[in-house]
Each structure stands twice: as C-alpha cells, then as structure tokens.
Amino acid sequence: MDRWVFDWNEAEGGDGAGAPTQPVEVDDETLRDGLQSPSAKAPPLQAKLEFLRILVDLGIQAVDIGLPATGGHAKEDALFIASEIARSRLPLKPNCAARTLVSDVRHVVEISQKAGIAVEVATFIGSSMARQCAEDWSLAFLLKVTRDSVSAAVKEGLPVMYVTEDTTRARPEVLRQLYSAAIDCGATRACLADTVGFVTPSGARRLVAFIKEVIAATGAEVGIDWHGHMDRGLGLASSLAALEAGADRIHGSALGIGERVGNTPLDLLLVNLKLMGRWPRDVRRLPDYVEWVARYAGVTIPWNYPVFGRDAYRTGTGIHASAIVKAMDKGDAELADVVYSSVPSSWFGREQTIEVSPMSGDSNVLAWLGQHGVEPAPEKVRAVKRLAKEADHTLSDDEIWDVLRRLENP
C-alpha cells in the first residue's frame, strides 16, 4: 500500500511525528464492561471459551473476566474463565474489577487461588467532584479505601491495577494523592478512566503526561492503562492520543459495546494499530470477533460500521466504481483495494464490491455484469441503468436479473 499512499499521519510535522513505538498492549473488556450494555444479553459459558480463543488468535494480551462481587453468576463465570485460561495455558492475563472494598478484593483472591492463576485486581473508585458530592465522599475516605483495598490484594500476592473512575473530570491534586497512595501500597498499574466519554484527544495527551509525572515522582515502575468511552464519539481518537502520549495498555470492547453508548471499539483500535504499524499480529480473525459479539450479545452490526459493516466495501457511485474498475483492469488488486478505501478489504477476507444504484454510471453496470458472467451488450447496460435511475434504492441482484430476463423474453 505504501507505493500508492503518502501518509500525512507519519510525515514530518504530522500528528504521528515523534510518536512512541513501544509494544502496544490491549485489555479486552467485552465480557465485563461490554456486557453492562443495557441492550446486551449474557453469552453462554461455552461461547465465552470460544471468545477466549479468538482473543488469543488476535494476539490480545489481557481480558477482564468480570466483577465477581456483584453476585449471581458473575463470580462463578469469572472462576470458570480463569480456570480455563490456566488449564489450557492460554497466553491471556485475566483481571477482575473490584470496588475499593476489601470484601470485593477477597472475591478475586478466591478466584485466583481456586483457578491456580494470578488474577489482576482492577480496584476502582470515583474521583471527580461530581461523584464525591453525589456519594458524600471526602478525600480522606477515598485515600483510606484506596490504601486498604490495594494493600489487601498485594498482601495476597496479586497484581493491582488501580482505577480512578471519571479520571478525565477529576482535579489534578486529587489524582496526584490517590495514585501516589495506590502506588505506595504496591499498585503496579495506574488506569485512567474516561468513564463518561468526556475527554478530547488533546485532553487525553495532557492527562497521560500528568500521570507520568506523578508516577515518576514515586520512583516506582508502573504501567499506564487507558479506559475510554464513546459518549461524545471520541473514545477511539482519545485512546489513540493516550497511546501516543505514553499509555502502555488500552482497554476496549468488541463493537464498542458497554454502558450507555459503549466503550472504545477494540476491533477498530486494532485496525488502526495495524495501519500504524504498531500491531504486528494477525488481524484476520477480527470479523469473527465482531460477529461473536453480534451473535451472542445480541448486538446488531450497523450497516455503515467501519470495516465490518455490510456497506464498508460496497459502492454504488459511478465515479468511485469507475476508478475501482480501471484499477482492476490494470490487473493490480492492491491498487483496486486502496483507490477508494483506507483499510484494505483483503485483510479481512472481503473485497471491493460494486453495486448498481441511482448514483451509478455505466461502470457500475458493466462491473456487475462482468462479475456475474453476463455479456455486456449495450442494450443490457441501458436497461439496467434505466431501472437504477428510476429506483430509490440500490438494486438487488434479483432486480437486475429480472430486467435482464425481460430483455431475453420480451
């Protein structure tokens, strides 16, 4: 693709200039935060095992397996998944969400001990003034429960990812004290959560830079996680900005499902990392990844969803179709794949598809006829094009076959 595309993203002075190139880690939140979507249904356990193997094939490194303290099947399912990861020796690092309560931490400790695998404790607490006022929490209270919960997990030998909810709307002095306290008690990861999808990409960069300073002041080696949401539609862009600023691990979910309008779509994150040259692993199973969540969580893939939606590689516009056909006529599949697409369809087992619509020209009709082995006689091209111009929709294959049959049997 490089021979056809000048990449302004990486050009000197562009947004990508000077961006870090350290290995990227991702944490899949589909089975926990993703399933908090009000419209999602709970997948069966056996299906979750299939999901784990898709994650492994994609090279995803970490997975959130639940919030066991919520009761019901949450703890049983988390134990089942952790046990499967251990039994099958899957290269996945499991983590469990837990409030900053020692009782929540104990649930994770029990799962870890029964499964025989280290389960990272993602202990979280609200940090913004809005949350503090709603809950009548003082800073002293936040610091106490932070120290108690992190210390309880570390005492049991478990790694801790300390999460401040609503980090992107919290005050710097509060964040400095909370993260410093968690790190002082042994937390090895600091997770910044854009819980209500508030932050812009520039805000994400500033926040990561600030937390890097906080960590540096402690003298500890602590990884930085970024957990984004889509309330303003900026989750993906802000996640990429956080990564550029130095975040080590990005969270997301399949198709972006999650609370309210959802999380950073992990499938699109991986597509972008692949295009940026920062995901050397195979992405061919990404269609299986999004189709899994559509099937088992009951989520419809929008027709215009990037890369994986029905229309991602379809065109019914004459100018677009003409360029694709000309590229195909040159015998250059790569050129045909890139001339009107920024993401190669071939990466995902798809292809550029030319349809016939009211916006179509002769090129669309000729392409359709060629793809279906029909002699492109002028009267056939005219008849199909006339039908398309009179329609208010993209023609189906059946509609085109009908008009061709009428020509043969007037």
CATH of the domain at 287: 3.20.20.70
Taking the whole predicted model, whether its pTM rises above 0.85 is answered as: yes
pLDDT at 23: 74
Whether residue 162 is found in the same domain as residue 205? yes
198 by Cβ neighbours in 10 Å (0-12 / 13-18 / 19+) ranks as: middle
Which of 246, 268, 296 finishes a domain?
296
Whether residue 257 is found in the same domain as residue 331? no
Average pLDDT over residues 176-205: 98
Whether residue 233 is found in the same domain as residue 180? yes
Which of 296, 326, 355 finishes a domain?
296
Whether 346 is in a domain gets the answer: yes
C-beta pairs of 266-271 under 8 Å, 24+ apart in sequence: 266/26, 266/28, 266/29, 266/30, 266/60, 267/307, 267/308, 268/236, 268/306, 268/307, 269/26, 269/236, 269/239, 269/240, 270/26, 270/58, 271/306, 271/307, 271/343
Angle value at C-alpha 25, between 190 and 75, nearest 5 degrees: 70
User: How many whole angstroms separate alpha carbon 244 and alpha carbon 357?
Assistant: 41
The mean predicted confidence, pLDDT, of the chain is 93
Whether residue 331 is found in the same domain as residue 292? no
Q: Is the pLDDT of residue 21 over 70?
A: no
Please answer whether residues 285 and 58 qualify as being in contact, where contact means their C-beta atoms are separated by less than 8 angstroms: yes
Whether 2 is in a domain gets the answer: no
Q: Which residue has the tokens 């029909």?
A: 374
Tokens of 286: 């990404």
Whether 83 is in a domain gets the answer: yes
pLDDT, tens only, 216-252: 999 999 999 999 999 999 999 999 999 999 999 999 9
Q: Kindly indicate the confidence band of residue 14, based on its pLDDT and cuts at 50, 70 and 90.
A: very low
pLDDT, tens only, 24-39: 999 999 999 999 999 9
pLDDT at 370: 87
Domain encompassing residue 155: 25-296
Whether 17 is in a domain gets the answer: no
Whether 305 is in a domain gets the answer: no
Q: Kindly indicate the confidence band of residue 18, based on its pLDDT and cuts at 50, 70 and 90.
A: very low
Tokens of 144: 């106490």
Whether residue 254 is found in the same domain as residue 394? no
- One-letter amino acid at 190 equals A
CA torsion sign, 189 to 104 to 199 to 279? Answer: positive
Which residues, 6+ apart, have CB-to-CB distance to 115 below 8 Å?
Answer: 79, 82, 83, 85, 86
Provide the domain count of the chain: 2
Whether residue 115 is found in the same domain as residue 227? yes
Which of 236, 265, 296 finishes a domain?
296
Whether 262 is in a domain gets the answer: yes
Whether 372 is in a domain gets the answer: yes
pLDDT, tens only, 363-376: 889 888 988 899 98
Q: Which residue has the tokens 């694709």?
A: 324
Whether residue 364 is found in the same domain as residue 256? no
Whether residue 155 is found in the same domain as residue 237? yes
Whether 229 is in a domain gets the answer: yes
